[in-house]
Structure 1
Amino acid sequence: MKHITFYLDFVSPYAWLAFEKLPQVLEGLSYSVEYRPILLGALLQAQGNPGPAGIPSKRDWTYRHVTWLGHSLGIPVQMPARHPFPPLPLLRLALACSMDGSINRFTAGTLLRHVWQGGHDALDPARLEALSPALVEQHQPGGDDPKNLLWANTEAAADRGVFGVPAFEVDGKIFWGLDSLPMLRAYLEGDTWFDSHWQQVAQVPNGLPSAPAK
C-alpha cells in the first residue's frame, strides 16, 4: 500500500477541489493519505512567486476557472466574501487537532467547507467560534504548538520540493495541482512511463540566460 502526503492550505480553491476529487480518482487502489497544512504564502514568498492574486488578470481568471471547475465536476464552490485572506487562524485551528503536523480527513474537510461553501467571510469571528464545536473531539491537548507545527510543515514541504498546493508526495515524487490526479493514479497503478521519463525530462537543459551576479 502506497502512502500519500497531501499538502494543502485552506486558502487554495484547488486544494478544496482536489480534496473532494481524490477518493473518486483513486477508487479501487490501496493507499493511505495524511493531510499536512502548510502556509502557501510563505512558500511562494520564499520562491519570489506573487501567486495568482498578485496579478490582477490572473486573479480574475483563477476565480472564473475554479468556479467553472466546481460546476463541471459537481463540487460546490462559492468564492468567500474576501479572497485572498490570511489563512493563519484556520491553519492553526487545524493544527490544534494534531500531535505531529498531520490532520485527518474530517478536520481538513470541515475547514475547507468552511471556506469554500456558502460564500461567507472565512475569518468572520462568529463563524470561527462556531467551528470549535465541530472540531472539539479532534483537538489534541498537550500536542506541539500549532504555530511550530505549521512552520515545521512548511519548511519540510519546501525541502521536499513542494512549490504550491495542492501537492501530493509519494515515494519522494511530487505531484502538483488538481490536474495531476490522473498522473498520480497512473503512478500508483505502476505505469512504466515513470521508470524512465520522470527523471529524464527533469534533465532538459535550461535555455534561459543565467541571472547576472550581484
Structure 2
Amino acid sequence: MKHIDFYLDFISPYAHLAFEHLPQALEGLSCSVAYKPVLLGAILKHHGQLGPAEIPAKRSWTYRHVLWLGHANGIHIEMPASHPYNPLPHLRLALSTSDDGSISRLVAETILRNVWRGGEEAGDAARLAALAAQLEPKRDMNGDENKALLKRNTDEALQAGVFGTPAFVVDGRLFWGFDGLAMLRACLAGDAWFDGPQWAAADQRPSLLRSSKS
C-alpha cells in the first residue's frame, strides 16, 4: 500500500477542489492518505513568492478559474465573502483535533466546506466558534502545541520541496495542484514513465536566467 502526505491550507481554493476530487482520483488504488495542514503564507515567503491573490490580475483569473474548475468537474465551490483571509484560526482548530499533525478526512472536509461553500465570511468569529463546537477539539486551538504542530508540518513540507498547496508527496516524489491529481494517479498505478529519464532528468539542465543576487 502506498502512502500519500497531502499538504493543504484551507485558504487555497485549489486545495478544496483537490480534496473533493481525491476519492475519484484514487478510485481502485490501494493507498493511505495523511492530511497535514500547513501555512501557505510561510511556504510562499520561504520561496520568495507572492500568493496568487496578491497579484491583482492573477487574483481575478484565479477566482474565475477555480469556479470554472468546480463547474467543469461537478465540485461544489463558492467564493467566501472576503478572500484572502487569515487562515490561522482554521489551521490551529484543525490541529487541535490531532496528536501528531495529521487530521482526519472528516475534519478537513468540515473546515474546507465551511470556507468554500455558502459564500460567507470564512473568518467570522461566530462561525468559527460554531465550527469549533462541531469538531470538539482536544485542546485550546490557540495553544502552543497547535502552533508547534503547524510549524512542524510546514517545515516538513518545505523539506519535501513543497512550494504551494495542495501538494502530495509519495515515495519522495512531489505532485502539486488540482491538475496534478491525474499525474499522481498514474504514478500510484505504476506507470513506467516515472522510472524513466523524463521524470528523473527533466530538471537536470542549466538555467540561463541570472540570479537576482548576481
- What code does the residue aligned with 1:198 have? W
C-alpha distance in 2, partners of 1:5/1:35?
6
The one-letter amino acid of 1:119's match is G
Q: Determine whether 1:127 maps to 2:124.
A: no
CA contact (8 A) 1:100 1:144 kept: no
CA distance, structure 1, for counterparts of residue 166 and residue 116 of structure 2: 15
1:85 is aligned to 85
SS at match of 1:41: helix
**Who is 1:162 aligned against?**
162
**Structure 1 residues without counterparts, runs of 5 or longer:** none
SS, match of residue 3 in structure 2: strand
Deviation of 1:50 (Å) = 0.7
Q: Please name the residue that 1:205 is paired with.
A: 206
* Displacement after TM superposition at 1:199 (Å): 1.1
Q: Which residue of the partner structure matches residue 101 of structure 2?
A: 101
Counterparts of 1:76 and 1:190, CA distance in 2: 31
Q: Which of 140, 145, 163 is matched with 2:138 structurally?
A: 140
Q: Secondary structure at the match of 2:50?
A: coil
Amino acid at match of 1:203: Q
State the 1:210 CA deviation: 3.4
One-letter amino acid of the structure 1 residue matched with residue 155 of structure 2:
E
2:23 counterpart of 1:27: no
Kindly indicate whether the alpha-carbon contact (under 8 Å) linking 1:99 and 1:144 is maintained by their aligned counterparts in 2. no
Between 47-56 and 162-171, report the one with greater CA deviation: 47-56
How much has 1:46 moved relative to structure 2?
A: 1.4
Secondary structure of the structure 2 residue equivalent to 1:119: coil
Q: Residue type matched to 1:194 in 2?
A: F
TM-superposed CA distance for 1:110, in Å, is: 0.4
Structure 2: any 5+ residue segments left out of the alignment? none
After superposition, the C-alpha distances for 1:124-172 in whole angstroms (9 at most, x for unaligned) are 1110111123211xx3359971111001111111111000000000001
How far residue 48 of structure 1 moved from its aligned partner, in angstroms, is: 1.0
The code of the aligned residue for 1:167 comes to A
Residue identity opposite 2:108 in structure 1: A
Quick one: distance in 1 between partners of 2:88 and 2:211?
Answer: 36
- Residue identity (%): 60
Whether 2:12 is the aligned partner of 1:16: answer no
DSSP-derived class of the 2:200 partner: helix
CA distance in 2 between partners of 1:120 and 1:170 (Å):
35
Instruction: Evaluate the alpha carbon distance shift between residue 190 and residue 128 of structure 1 in structure 2; reply closer, same or farther with a 3 A threshold.
Output: same
Q: Counterpart amino acid of 1:124?
A: D
Distance in 2 of aligned mates of 1:35 and 1:114: 17
Q: 2:212 and 2:114 mapped to 1: Cα distance? A: 43
Q: Classify the secondary structure of the residue corresponding to 2:204.
A: coil
Partner of 1:46: 46
1:75 is paired with a residue whose SS is coil
C-alpha displacement of 1:209: 2.2
Q: 2:62 & 2:139 partners in 1: Cα distance?
A: 38
- In 2: Cα distance, 1:82 partner to 1:18 partner: 21
Say if 1:16 and 1:112, in contact at 8 Å, map to a contact too.
Answer: yes
TM-score normalized with structure 1 length: 0.95
